């Protein structure tokens, strides 16, 4: 058997093995799922500031509402990277994710810029990186396959979240976007950055600062998560 066929058989067997190994959090195998919600910024980092409204406050207002609403959803547990206004570094967020061992994570952000008319929501998933071409070493191939599994799951999660947010921001989706993120790049966990509206847009700002609208966003995000888990992470 020539080298190309050997390499192909080797990769195929690895795919089979990896497909049989559970990759989600501990609860995923019992119909219970843990989601880590990351209210972006905090403490000394205000994030976007528009008309005295700070991104760090908006994300921190939304995160506990998601956790409250999740109590109505059997089998879904929400954990937060922060529950108060404090500085949280990227390294701290990564530690939180490693400790929580979530089945997926969502980092909440608020958008700004792109002109005063820019409005709506954006969903970012981490960028794909190609492995070394022609490599047949076991460890790098397995690592790359595991990573691509989580990245593919991130894309599927992004599609669910995008569809669910349409109920809050009708026809205002700005698309799914692939982009590197220091927080998500350090983990092999399906994860997204969700830019929930624009602080610089008057109508979006009303939605972001009103509790009723915030709860609508929370419920929409949970609906997207439910749809994702129903199909299996």
Q: Given this model, what pLDDT does residue 129 score?
A: 54
The pTM assigned to this predicted structure is: 0.82
Q: Within the chain, which residues score under 50 in pLDDT?
A: 3-24, 26, 130-138, 140-142
- Computed over every residue of the chain, the mean pLDDT equals 83
Q: Given this model, what pLDDT does residue 22 score?
A: 36
Q: Given this model, what pLDDT does residue 139 score?
A: 52
Q: Given this model, what pLDDT does residue 149 score?
A: 84
Which CATH code of 3.40.630.40, 3.90.1140.10, 3.40.50.880, 1.10.15.40 fits the domain covering 3-230? 3.40.630.40
d(CA 155, CA 150): 9
| Cβ-based burial of 232 (10 A; exposed 0-12, middle 13-18, buried ≥19) | exposed
Q: Given this model, what pLDDT does residue 150 score?
A: 86
Q: Which residues are bridge partners to 192 per DSSP? A: 106
CA dihedral 70, 172, 58, 94 (to 10 degrees): 70
Q: Given this model, what pLDDT does residue 18 score?
A: 39
Pairing of strands 76-80, 191-198: unpaired
d(CA 114, CA 10): 48
| Cβ-based burial of 53 (10 A; exposed 0-12, middle 13-18, buried ≥19) | middle
Q: Given this model, what pLDDT does residue 208 score?
A: 92
Q: Given this model, what pLDDT does residue 115 score?
A: 80
Q: Given this model, what pLDDT does residue 148 score?
A: 77
């Amino acid at each position: 058997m020539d080298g190309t066929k050997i390499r192909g058989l080797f990769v195929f067997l690895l795919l089979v093995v990896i497909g049989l190994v559970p990759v989600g959090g501990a609860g995923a195998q019992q119909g219970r799922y843990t989601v880590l919600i990351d209210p972006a910024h905090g403490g000394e980092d205000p994030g976007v500031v528009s008309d005295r409204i700070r991104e760090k406050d908006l994300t921190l207002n939304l995160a506990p509402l998601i956790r409250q609403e999740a109590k109505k959803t059997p089998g879904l547990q929400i954990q937060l990277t922060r529950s108060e206004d404090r500085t949280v570094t990227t390294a701290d967020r990564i530690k939180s994710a490693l400790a929580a061992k979530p089945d997926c994570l969502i980092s909440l952000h608020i958008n700004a810029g792109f002109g005063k008319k820019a409005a709506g929501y954006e969903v970012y998933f981490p960028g794909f990186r190609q492995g070394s071409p022609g490599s047949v070493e076991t460890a790098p191939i397995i690592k790359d396959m595991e990573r691509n599994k989580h990245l593919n799951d991130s894309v599927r999660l992004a599609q669910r979240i995008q569809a669910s947010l349409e109920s809050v921001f009708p026809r205002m989706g700005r698309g799914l976007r692939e982009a590197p993120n220091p927080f998500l790049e350090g983990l092999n966990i399906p994860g997204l950055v969700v830019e929930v509206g624009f602080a610089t847009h008057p109508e979006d700002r009303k939605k972001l600062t009103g509790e009723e609208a915030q709860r609508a966003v929370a419920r929409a995000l949970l609906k997207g998560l439910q749809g994702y888990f129903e199909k299996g992470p």
